[in-house]
Homo-oligomer: A and B are copies of this chain.
């Protein structure tokens, strides 16, 4: 006698001081076998391709078109059972609470910045932070949203932020995220334009300006476009333009261009540009993913990446996947040589 959770939650309403709401539990478990060459401890690994999630969310109808909403999302590594990278916060995915109404949606907490969230739809691996995909490197020209976070922390989220999403006006939507200047646990100083003795940002420094992120999206039939701009806690700026087009119902084409400006923390070679083209093609229960892109930091060797993937659906919630990827990249940050990193992945992806 296994009732669904929501039914159980409703049935259990007797115990609480207030009526039990319909908390939805959701998640993803994704694990497979992967190998990436030219990494430390190069070996065949059991690891994840997609983010692994266990989430809790709910919506309360307040009447008059007003809603209260919350979402809490645990992220973990399925191969070890630990929190992502062993250092990330419990609700790395997001922890937000807010209100939704005719004015749009306002939420407070931690989550993907407005630009980072909008950009996912223009990346052929749908933003999966996998080696075969183009997040979080080429898709954002090497930019990070959280340079003053804990070492190993997520590169595309704001903590301590207010998130606004406008309603959709004739296909057009505006999304804005603004974060406070609070220190965010960074353990290492960022020397930047300072010196080792007097770094531009000390360990656990506060932001020198409020980080913000903006994206504007427009959707018209098979066509979608995005303009994005973001400034992080050390005043690095990112500019992005992206578009997608359904050439046929099963064929989605994507392209994007990004520029990162690090002039606030670097004296020279402050700009990095990147571009990316990709496609998703659905054939029966299969889906083919294709992507190619380049990243060009000023005065440093170019990075070039080509990837191909295949997803085989066993159900709307479960698929098997296969990825192949080749990345020609500098051997190190200051290298004049490059290496060709190969990547293989085979695994299973299950939503619940």
Do B99 and A81 touch across chains, with their CB atoms under 8 A apart?
A: no
Does any Cβ of B come within 8 Å of A74's Cβ? yes
Q: Give the residues in chain B near A70, CB-CB below 8 Å.
A: 27, 29, 350, 352
B117 touches A6 (CB 8 A): yes
Cα A219 to Cα B2 with chains together (Å)? 7
Q: Give chain B residues whose Cβ lies under 8 Å from the Cβ of A215.
A: 6
Distance between Cα atoms of A74 and B90 in the complex (Å):
10
A68: contacting residue among B23, B27, B47, B348, CB under 8 A: B348
Expressed in whole angstroms, the Cα–Cα distance for A30 and B318 within the complex equals 34
How far in angstroms is the closest Cβ of chain B from A43? 5
- The answer to whether A187 has its CB under 8 Å from any CB of chain B is no
Shortest A156–chain B CB gap in Å is: 14
A96 CB within 8 Å of chain B: yes
A95 CA to B54 CA, complexed, in Å: 11
Interface residue? A300 (CB, 8 A)? no
Does A31 have its Cβ within 8 Å of any Cβ on chain B?
Answer: yes
Q: How far is the CB of A318 from chain B (nearest CB, A)?
A: 4
**CB of A21 within 8 Å of the partner chain:** yes
- Is A120 a contact of B9 with CB atoms below 8 Å? yes
Given contacts A1-B221, A59-B14, contact A80 B6 (CB under 8 A): no
Query: Chain A: interface residue count, which band?
Result: 35 or more
Instruction: Please determine whether A46 and B9 come into contact, CB atoms closer than 8 angstroms.
Output: no
Assembly stoichiometry (copies)? 3
Question: Do B94 and A81 have beta carbons less than 8 Å apart?
Answer: yes
In contact, A24 and B18 (Cβ under 8 angstroms): no
Let me know if A22 is at the binding interface, CB within 8 A. Answer: yes
Cβ contact within 8 Å between B29 and A72: yes
Contact of A20 among B3, B19, B20 (CB under 8 A): B3
Cβ proximity bits A95-125 to B, threshold 8 Å, 1 near / 0 not: 1111110000100111000000110110000
A31 and B97 within 8 A (CB) = yes
A65 neighbours in B (Cβ, 8 Å): none
Bound CA span A47–B182, Å: 10
* Distance in angstroms between the alpha carbons of A15 and B47 in the assembled complex: 25
**Are the CB atoms of A80 and B18 closer together than 8 Å?**
no
In the complex where A43-B206, A60-B317, A109-B31 touch, is A219 in contact with B4 (Cβ < 8 A)?
A: yes
Of A133-141, A158-166, A193-201, A324-332, the segment with at least 4 beta carbons within 8 Å of chain B is A158-166
Query: Is B14 a contact partner of A2 (Cβ separation < 8 A)?
Result: no
Please determine whether B91 and A352 come into contact, CB atoms closer than 8 angstroms.
no
A12-B23, A15-B59, A21-B317 given; 9 more Cβ-contact pairs under 8 Å = A2-B20, A4-B168, A5-B219, A6-B215, A9-B120, A27-B70, A29-B72, A70-B350, A108-B348
Task: Pull 21 A–B residue pairs with CB atoms less than 8 Å apart, ordered by A.
Answer: A2-B24, A4-B172, A5-B22, A6-B118, A9-B117, A12-B24, A13-B71, A18-B351, A23-B25, A29-B95, A30-B97, A46-B180, A60-B350, A60-B352, A70-B352, A76-B91, A76-B95, A79-B108, A80-B89, A80-B110, A80-B159
